[in-house]
Amino acid sequence: MEVPPMEQPQTANALTVSIIINNYNYDRFLAQAIDSALNQTYDNIEVIVVDDGSTDASRQLIAGYGEAIKPVLQPNSKQGIAFNNGFNHSTGDIIIFLDADDYLEPQAAATIVAAWQPGLAKIHYRLRVVDAQSQPSGVSYPQANQLSQGDLTQIVINFGSYAGVPTSGNALSRTAMTHVLPIPDAFKTTADDYLSVLMPLYGQVEAIEEPLGNYRIHTNNQWALATFSCDRFRRFIRHDMQRCELLKYRAAALGYTVPPDLEYRFFGRVWSRLASLKLEPEHHPVATDRAIVLSYWGIRAILKYSGFNSSKKLLYSLWFVWVGMMPRPLAKPAIVWLLAPQFRPKPIQRVLTRFRTAIS
C-alpha cells in the first residue's frame, strides 16, 4: 500500500529548522550542545531545550541563555515525553532531536536544508565519535556501512532495521512526524528506536555521508560501548523485540505484511541473543532460546541477508558456530572480541587481519 504523498515547503530558504535538545543531568555537556545549535551558519533556526527534571545545574545554565532559546521544563518523564513536549513547542519544517551530550557541526543545518527535497521523511548523516573531552576518536558512525537511503519501506518491513545513526544524526520531516507522534508511553525510554522504525514508512530517506554532528562516548550514555556488559545485551534484546512488535502492528495498519521470521533476519539481533544466552543464561530474557538454534538463525541471516563479502560471511559464520557450540569459558572471549573490538588482544587482532587478507 502506498503512503499518500505529503506536502512539503518548496523554497529551501523558507525552511525552518527546529533543534530540540533533550537533557537530563548533563550540565557538563549541555552548553556545548546549545552553543552548537545557536552557532549554525543557517539563519532560520529555533533552539528548544527540554529539561527532563534535572537535579544538577542544568536549569540554571538554561536560564542563562535568556531569549536565545526556548526552554521547556518538565518533571522527570523520560525521553519519549521530552520529544513530544519539544515537538509541541516547535514550529520548524525540519526537526533535529539533539541529545544533550552530543553537538552539531556549524554547517549541519545549512547542509541539511540544501539537500532537502519534497517527500522526504528524513535525512540522516554521519556522526563523528568523540570522547568526554570532545576529542575525536578518528572514526565516524557507522564505521563500515554506507547509510541507507531511498525508499526503505521494504527493507524496514523485511528486516526491521537499516543502516542508520543514533538520535542526533537525524533531521526529520515535521509532516511525516505528524503520522507517528505522540510517542507512546511504552517507548518513553526508547523514543529514538520508535522514530527510527516508523519514519521510513512515511517518505523517502536521504543520506549525507559527511559527519554533521558529534556522538559522544562516555561512561554514562546507555548505548555507547565503552564497557562490556551483559545488561547491555538484555536491554538491546528487549528493545529490539519491542521494535519488531511495533513494526508488525504499524505495517499491518498500512497494508503491509511482515515476514514471520522478522526477528531472525538481521544477524545483529541474533548474535546479541546468542551472546546474552551464553554469558548469563539465568538472566536471558527469551526463555525459549537455544544456543544451537540461534547459531543456525545467525548463519542463515549472514549468508542470506547480510550482503557481506565472502570473507566476512565465513568469519561471522565461524563465530556463530564457535559461540553456539563451545562452553562458556571458550565462547566468552569470542563474544567480547567481536562485539567490543577495543578489548581484543593485539595478537588476536593480527590473526584476524591476516585471516581476512588470506580469504579476500
Q: Are residues 82 and 151 in the same domain?
A: yes
Confidence check: pLDDT of 10 > 90: no
Show the domain range for 73.
Answer: 12-216
pTM of the model: 0.86
Last residue of a domain, one of 175, 195, 216: 216
Neighbours of 303 (CB within 10 A): 14
Q: Are both 83 and 169 inside the same structural domain?
A: yes
The burial of 251, by beta-carbon neighbours within 10 Å (0-12 exposed, 13-18 middle, 19 or more buried), is given as: buried
The answer as to whether 133 is a domain residue is: yes
Q: Judge if 206 and 257 occupy the same domain.
A: no
Helices (H) and strands (E) in the chain, counts: 13, 9
> Model confidence at 222, in pLDDT bands (50, 70, 90)?
very low
Q: Does the pLDDT of residue 122 top 60, yes or no?
A: yes
Assess whether 41 and 156 both reside in one domain. yes
Question: Taking the C-alpha atoms of 113, 143, 305 and 272 in order, what is their torsion angle to the nearest 10 degrees?
Answer: -120
CATH number of the domain within which 125 lies: 3.90.550.10
Residue 238 lies in a domain: no
Q: Is residue 279 part of a domain?
A: yes
Domain membership of residue 4 (yes or no) is no
Spell out the SS3 assignment of 188-246. Answer: CCCHHHHHHHHHHHHCEEEEEEEEEEEEECCCCCCCCCCCCCHHHHHHHHHHHHHHHHH
Q: How many domains does the chain have?
A: 2
Residues 201 and 265 in one domain: no
262 and 139 both lie in a single domain: no
Same domain, 36 and 100: yes
Question: Which residue in 179, 140, 192 sits closest to 20, CA to CA?
Answer: 192
Give the residue among 346, 348, 318, 321 at the shortest CA–CA distance from 333. Answer: 348
Q: Does any domain span residue 266? A: yes
Q: Is residue 40 part of a domain?
A: yes
Measured distance CA(215)–CA(278) in Å, rounded: 30
126 assigned to some structural domain: yes
In this predicted structure, what is the pLDDT of residue 170? 98
Q: What angle do CA 308, 208, 2 make, to 5 degrees?
A: 80
Give the three cell numbers for residue 292.
544451537
Is 29 part of a structural domain of the chain? yes
pLDDT confidence bin for 220, thresholds 50/70/90: low
- Both 309 and 172 in one domain: the answer is no
Cell triple for 329: 569459558
Q: Would you say residue 3 has pLDDT above 60?
A: no
Looking at the structure, tell me whether residues 188 and 72 fall in a common domain: yes
Report the share of the chain in percent with pLDDT over 90: 76
Q: Which residue has the higher pLDDT, 349 or 149?
A: 149
- Same domain membership, residue 251 and residue 334: yes
- Per-residue pLDDT, averaged over 111-130, amounts to 97
Average pLDDT score over residue span 334-344? 70
Residues 249 and 199 both lie in one domain: no
What is the C-alpha separation between 131 and 125, in angstroms, rounded? 19
Regarding whether 98 and 179 lie in a shared domain, the answer is: yes
What is the C-alpha to C-alpha distance for residues 160 and 176, in angstroms, rounded to an integer? 19
